[in-house]
Structures are given as structure tokens and as C-alpha cells.
Amino acid sequence: MSVNVREPVDVLVIGSGASGAAVTWSLSEAGFSVACLEQGPWVPPSSYPTSSADWQFLQQTKWHYSPNVRKLPADYPVNDDTSQIKVVMFNAVGGSTIHWTAHVPRFHPSDFRVKTLDGVAEDWPISYFDLEPYYDLNDEMMGCSGINGDPANPPRSPRQMPPIPIGPDGERIARAFDELGWHWWPSDVHVNSTNYKGRKACNYCGPIGQNCDRGARASSDITYIPEAIKLGAKVRPNSTIFEITAGDDGRATGANYYNANGEQEFQPANAVVVGCNGIGTPRMLLHSTSNSHPQGLLNSSGLVGKNLMFHVYAGASGFFNDLDAPTYRGPLACIIMSQEFYETDPSRDFKRGYTFQMGRGQGPAPTATGGVSWGKNHHAEFAERFGKNLGLGVIGDDLPEEINRVELDKKLTDRHGIPAPKIIYRVGDNSKRLLAHGVNSARTVLESAGASRIISSQLNTNTGWHLMGTARMGEDPARSVVNQYGQGHDADNVFIVDGSVFVTGAAVNPTPTIQALALRTADYIRHERSDLKS
């Protein structure tokens, strides 16, 4: 087979999601020649579900969170039959930021020191304060709505916009927290409360996870990527990378991929930056075997794919008969949060903790198909829930365990014959105790808020949004895959910038931390690796 060889670049970035887009912009700004290859397509705003009258059904089919349900050409299958939590992700320019709610709390300083503080997992080789300037830079690029003064977190620079209004339903839940004497705070979100950088303010229509043709909800395809292209970056969608190549010295030389026409091409590069998420990255590394990396790229420790963390989710939902407005109005999940039970408490029977994230109800179709029974009681149950339900999600710190892992499947492949990832994951005992406490606490809040009836779930299984830990950072090459800058221990010109490098998962959404880490890695390359620039 003839292979088309592209013009060499300084840096090849694999993936255009939260992390890859940030690196592409930063290195382009510094004068590096950058090619960013993305497995998925460009997604025009006209194709967003919310631009269609049947958007509520599109979110159950080709806009479903799971690639195993969507089965679009850009998706690869995931064997999660042996996982208690199902994997969700999205492949497109912008990655999974195309399909997220943009809730962006930061890690706590304690999250980087859980071994020292709590005797579990491992400490990170960096601190919160190493990341703080990059958190700030990322907020500037994405646009953050929020307010200072949260007592649960360190002081920080002002947000770019005031917080999204929490609405009468948010005020009701906030009063319940106040009555209990428990912490709450308006959520930090990458959703515009005012016009920002040419993007319109949110109109509070509700289905924010299905994207926004106003540009009110940030995603990396409308923030970092356009700026990177202006600076000269080459972004190639519909490019399915199947192998990072390496020379006899172990250093990367580029990557082989299939272009949009299914033709094989080779992109030479002085360095390779991988941002394919905590499932796609170990899949890529394990499939990239060579004489210098017989067990897979960067895998001399045997830890590539190990220590998979998802975040464990549970929660409770309350039904209210006396609300001032229906609960499907306003952003779905960017309302208030509580970190009352975030840090380790010796009086509790689990380590670390969890965050409450308030959620609203959804439209009629998701309500009718999302737990309402079919049969003679269907209409009564629908009437009880629709526009009347408010929830508290419990997002728990999912401590790393080597038995939770990503492997290459021996039979299942994608359309090009590339092995699919196989997920082996079970919820640990600490997580089970943590979630049980969280559900009981959520019920307490909803009771205080005056719910007429409360239902709860001890474990939500279709919640594998946060893919972390499978190529973790550390100082010891025998116990980690990359160093504190995301640079491979086994190859100094390979960098990983997605959630794979997480040492622990904390109890908050990981995207702003992923982006901060990516910007820090890019800054290291800019200032310390001039040898990579042609």
C-alpha cells in the first residue's frame, strides 16, 4: 500500500478536544508549526439537536452520549461489558466539549496530596498552585461565569462574567442547604451570562448538554481552535490515527492514520502530543508497538491503561407541587453545588468525599422515557414528574486501583480493523460507602426543601463521562507513565495532556483541570523544548 507522507511539522497533536485544542493554540502562538489530527468531523451548529424539532429524540440516537449507541462513522466501539460504569464520549472537532454541560469547578489543594493527608492513592508531583495560573488562562479563553468568595476553595481572580442566575428552583434548594447549615455556592460554568468574545449570552433554554448554536456555551471548537487556525495551525478532521511511530532510539517520529477517504497517510513530527481521553490514549499507546516499545509506547512500567477512574455517581430526585416555574427552564446542571462533604472526615467510614451538583428536570420526551413506567400508571407518573422534579447528583472521588483498566480487545475492532478498547472496572468499597452517605445526605436536603416524594439511586451506571488515570504522572518511572509536565518517561518527545495523566480524580468535573494541565505542558514545551522547533 502506498502511503502519502505529509509535510513535517514541529508538533503533531492527536485530538482536538479540551486538551488538544488548548495545546494547539498555545504552541501555534509560540511559533511552532502544529498539525492537529481529529478522528471526528467538524460539527456545524445547524446540525445540533437543539436546531431540530425532534431534538429530544436525537439525544437518544445519533447525539447519544455513548458511542455504542450512536455508532457514527467517527466512533469506535467500546467493550464495557465487564465494567460497572458505561463509557461515554464524543468524537468531533472540539471532542467531548461538543457534548457537555460546561460545569467547571476546580480541584482543591488537598486533591493533589491525598497520600500525605489521607494515606490513600498517591500524591501528585505538582500542587494546585502550580496549576492556578493555567486555570486562570483557560477561564479567559473559554469564558467563565461565577462569583468569588467560596469558602470551600482558595481565593482566586475574578471570573470573566457574573454567575448564571440560579432561578427560583435554585434558590429553594439553596435555602434548604442554609437551613441545614451546609455549604453551597453558585456553580462556575463556561456558559456566558453576558456576551463574551463575540459569543452571545445564554438564553436559559435548558438543553445545554446538546450544544448551543448561539455560542453561549463554550467548547474548544469555538474558542481555542479558531484562534489556533488564525496562528497557522493545521486542523485535519476525519483523521483516524492508529499508530504513533518511534525510531530505534525510542523517540516518536510521527503517526500513521487514515484520512477521510480511508487512505493511509503519515504525519512526520519532531514531537507528538496525545489528547485522546483516558480511554482513547491508552488504546493508542498500547497499539503503538515497535522494536523500542514492544509492550506499547511509554509502557515500560506496565501502567498504561491501569488505574482507570470514572467518578462514581449517585443521587436523589424530589418532586414538588408548589414550584414557581417548571423545572425544565434554565441550564440543566449549571446551578448550585455543595462541597459540605468534600474533604476526608475521620468520623465517616470512607476516605475523601463528594460534591453535590443540583440538576433540573428535562423535556417531555426524556421525562417520559427516563424512569416513568409504561402501562396504566404512565400518565400519572409523568404528571408527577414533568416540570416538577429537582435533583441532587452525588459526584464521588473515585480512588485509583490497578485492577480498573483499559486493554485492547482481542476480537472487537473499529471500521478500520483497529482493536477496540476493553474496559475492566468495578466500583470499590470506599466508593460504595461514600455514595451511600451522599444519597442519604441528598435526601435530607430534598426533604428540607419540601419535596412531596423522593426517589434515589445508589449508583448511576451510564455516567462514564470522566475518563482519568490510565497514563498517570509521577516522578518514579516505575510507578508512572509521564512526568509532571506530561512528558513520557520512555520518550522525551511524547507528551500526554488529557485526563489519562491524573493521579487521583477528586470529586469535581475534570475538564478545567485537564485544560490547565495541557496549557502547563504547552508552556513547558514553549520555554524548555526549543529543540523541537525546526
Q: Is the pTM of this model over 0.85?
A: yes
Chain centroid offset of residue 468 CA: 9
For residue 372, the model assigns a pLDDT of 83
By the 8 A CB rule, do 359 and 390 touch? yes
Q: What share of the chain is helix, strand, coil (3-state, %, to 5)?
A: 30, 20, 50
For residue 206, the model assigns a pLDDT of 79
CA 521/CA 32 separation, integer angstroms: 14
For residue 1, the model assigns a pLDDT of 59
Count of helices and strands (H, E) across the chain: 12, 17
Which helix (H) or strand (E) element contains residue 244?
strand 240-246
* Domains of the chain: residue spans and CATH: 4-532 (3.50.50.60)
- 533 to each of 26, 237, 276, 332, how far by Cα in Å? 14, 24, 23, 44
CA 465/CA 266 separation, integer angstroms: 31
What is the grid cell recorded at 269?
513530527
- 231 to each of 33, 386, 474, 524, how far by Cα in Å? 9, 48, 33, 19
Write out the DSSP string of 48-61.
SGGGSTTHHHHTTT
Q: Residue 347: count other Cβ atoms within 10 Å of its Cβ.
A: 4
For residue 52, the model assigns a pLDDT of 79
- 204 to each of 213, 302, 441, 500, how far by Cα in Å? 13, 47, 29, 33
Give the full edge-to-edge strand order of the sheet including 389-396: 185-186, 336-338, 354-359, 389-396, 312-319, 453-460
What is the grid cell recorded at 137?
488562562
Q: Indicate the SS3 state at residue 522.
A: helix
- Which residues of the chain, if any, have pLDDT below 70? 1
Tens digit of each residue's pLDDT (9 = 90 or more) over 119-141: 999 999 999 999 999 999 999 99
Residues in the chain, how many?
534
What is the grid cell recorded at 436?
451511600
Pairing mode of beta strands 240-246, 419-425: unpaired
For residue 48, the model assigns a pLDDT of 86
Pairing mode of beta strands 9-14, 264-274: parallel
Which helix (H) or strand (E) element contains residue 129?
helix 128-142
